[in-house]
């Protein structure tokens, strides 16, 4: 242990190459991970923000807000039978004209009508008003601006900012249900919904005892398959493209981790070969293979931690430097920690490839005239 650390301190040159390569790999891992998180957040933030035990859709909708329709009777049934709190929810995706921008320079918005506030979003604002997602700042929107939403140019005034509430890559505009309904009716007459009809319902159990049954199951049990009730997690996975995006990215991340593993395996295998003579002497004076191998692992872990620290710092700086709205990069502590843990696991497994060589070193190699 001390021996291994002393070598790191006194012969840092030997470890520079591996550290640099690992740093680059760690940057790649964290950057790609952040990109995945950013992309996912851009398409799911609004759903993830929902403070709900279940989201209810109509059965043919495949959990798509735009295809779903919940009648007032359904809502009444749920409320009376289960005694839970419900809130209407609906969305429409449109382009919005921003004051001071050209007529073709539309901001992509998702206009939400809501009754129960998602986390991070205040209670519904007054008629014709909206809480806007801060990514709209990149489109030149400021608080107090009057946006003209959709081809029908329905005016909506921004009264404040919210965060991480994009949907389908479009910035959230959070309005009361009447405002949303009028935006929807004016711009998408084909999809207009009567008063009392929503696309989805937010269900909150509160402190109601449902007898150990999950909220989605309790809701679905009231109907004969006409509704689908999902947890927020499940609803996110149903958003088109989310699973595919995540799958693709996770494959790329997996390959990156394997590359890190190979780099560490090769590097430490090489070091072990170089150190055969040293290990022979150590074994001759009574060192166990275990002790020697532990030293190798300590070095791999330190190299990985140094690389991770530099990489973590680099992506955090990158995140600060990249203007919001340009690249959907979302650097979180969770993502960085996950990346470091993956790299550490790769480091230890990578070292394991040298274990056999360490075990094979013969203490007799310390003897005789050959070095």
Partner 1 sequence: MNASASSSATPALHMVGVRKVYRVGDEEVVALDHADLTVAADEIVALVGPSGSGKTTLCSIAGGILSATAGSVVVGGEEISGYNDRQLTTFRQNQVGFVFQTVNLVPFLTARENLLVVDEMGRREGKPARARADRLLEELGLADRAQNLPGQLSGGQKQRVAIGRSLMNEPGLVLFDEPTSALDTELGAHVMELIRTEMKARGTSAIVVTHDERITEYCDRTVRITDGVLEA
Ligand X SMILES: Nc1ncnc2c1ncn2[C@@H]1O[C@H](COP(=O)(O)OP(=O)(O)OP(=O)(O)O)[C@@H](O)[C@H]1O
Residue indicated by tokens 């700042």? 137
If binding is defined by CB under 6 A, does position 370 make contact with ligand X?
A: no
Per-residue exposure over 230-256, b if at least 16 CB sit within 10 Å of its own CB, e if not: bebeebbebbeebeebbeebeeebeeb
Helix (H) or strand (E) holding 157: strand 154-162
In the list partner 1, ligand X, none, the entry touching 247 (Cβ below 5 to 8 angstroms by class) is none
| 3 state DSSP class of 149 | strand
Helices (H), 56-194: 72-82, 177-187
Applying CB under 6 A, which of residues 189, 211, 212, 368 lies at the interface with ligand X? 368
Instruction: Calculate the alpha carbon distances from 135 to 45, 162, 203, 251 in Å.
Output: 12, 9, 28, 29
DSSP state, residue 138? G
d(CA 21, CA 256): 12
In the list ligand X, partner 1, none, the entry touching 287 (Cβ below 5 to 8 angstroms by class) is partner 1
If binding is defined by CB under 8 A, does position 288 make contact with partner 1?
A: yes
Applying CB under 8 A, which of residues 189, 207, 285, 321 lies at the interface with partner 1? 285
Residue indicated by tokens 């997690």? 233
Which among 3, 305, 325, 52 has a CA at the least distance from the CA of 164? 325
Q: CB-wise, 313 or 364, nearer to ligand X? A: 364
Structure tokens of 339? 């990346």
In the list ligand X, partner 1, none, the entry touching 371 (Cβ below 5 to 8 angstroms by class) is partner 1
Structure tokens of 245? 């995006």
Residues 4-43, mask of contacts with partner 1 (x by CB under 8 A): --xx--xx--------------------------------
If binding is defined by CB under 8 A, does position 160 make contact with partner 1?
A: no
Q: CB-wise, 16 or 364, nearer to partner 1? A: 364
Contact window for partner 1 (CB under 8 A) among 48-56, 164-172, 263-271, 281-289: 281-289
If binding is defined by CB under 8 A, does position 302 make contact with partner 1?
A: no
Return the number of other C-beta atoms located less than 10 Å from residue 306's C-beta: 18
In the list ligand X, partner 1, none, the entry touching 108 (Cβ below 5 to 8 angstroms by class) is none
If binding is defined by CB under 8 A, does position 294 make contact with partner 1?
A: no
- Cβ contact 175:149 at 8 Å: no
In the list partner 1, ligand X, none, the entry touching 275 (Cβ below 5 to 8 angstroms by class) is none
If binding is defined by CB under 6 A, does position 371 make contact with ligand X?
A: no
If binding is defined by CB under 8 A, does position 366 make contact with partner 1?
A: yes
Applying CB under 8 A, which of residues 152, 281, 309, 348 lies at the interface with partner 1? 281
Applying CB under 8 A, which of residues 18, 142, 291, 299 lies at the interface with partner 1? 291
Applying CB under 8 A, which of residues 278, 318, 349, 352 lies at the interface with partner 1? 278
- Cβ contact 147:96 at 8 Å: yes
Q: Which positions lie near ligand X, rule CB under 6 A?
A: 368-369
């Amino acid at each position: 242990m001390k021996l291994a650390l002393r070598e790191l301190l006194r012969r840092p040159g030997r470890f520079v190459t591996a550290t640099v390569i690992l740093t680059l790999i760690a940057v790649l891992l964290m950057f790609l991970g952040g990109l995945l998180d950013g992309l996912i957040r851009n398409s799911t933030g609004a759903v993830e923000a929902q403070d709900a035990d279940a989201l209810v859709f109509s059965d043919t909708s495949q959990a798509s807000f735009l295809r779903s329709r919940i009648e007032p009777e359904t809502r009444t049934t749920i409320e009376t039978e289960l005694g839970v709190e419900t809130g209407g929810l609906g969305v429409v995706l449109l382009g919005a004209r921003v004051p001071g921008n050209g007529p073709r320079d539309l901001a992509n918005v998702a206009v939400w009508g809501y009754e129960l506030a998602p986390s991070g979003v205040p209670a519904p604002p007054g008629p014709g008003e909206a809480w806007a997602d801060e990514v709209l700042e990149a489109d030149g929107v400021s608080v107090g601006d009057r946006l003209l939403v959709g081809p029908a140019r329905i005016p909506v005034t921004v009264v404040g900012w919210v965060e991480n509430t994009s949907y389908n890559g479009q910035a959230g505009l959070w309005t009361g249900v009447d405002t949303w309904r009028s935006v929807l009716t004016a711009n998408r007459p084909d999809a207009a919904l009567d008063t009392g009809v929503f696309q989805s319902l937010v269900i909150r159990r509160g402190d109601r005892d449902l007898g150990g049954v999950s909220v989605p199951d309790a809701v679905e049990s009231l109907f004969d398959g006409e509704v689908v009730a999902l947890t927020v997690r499940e609803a996110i996975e149903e958003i088109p493209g989310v699973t595919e995006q995540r799958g693709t990215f996770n494959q790329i991340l997996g390959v990156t981790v394997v590359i890190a593993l190979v780099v560490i395996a090769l590097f430490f295998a090489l070091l072990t070969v170089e150190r055969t003579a040293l290990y022979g002497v150590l074994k001759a004076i009574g060192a166990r293979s275990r002790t020697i191998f532990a030293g190798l692992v300590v070095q791999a872990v330190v190299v990985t931690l140094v690389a991770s620290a530099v990489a973590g710092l680099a992506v955090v700086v990158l995140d600060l430097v990249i203007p919001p709205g340009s690249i959907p990069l979302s650097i979180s502590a969770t993502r960085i920690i996950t990346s470091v843990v993956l790299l550490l696991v790769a480091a230890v497994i990578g070292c394991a490839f040298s274990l056999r060589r360490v075990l094979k070193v013969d203490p007799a190699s310390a003897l005789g005239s050959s070095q």
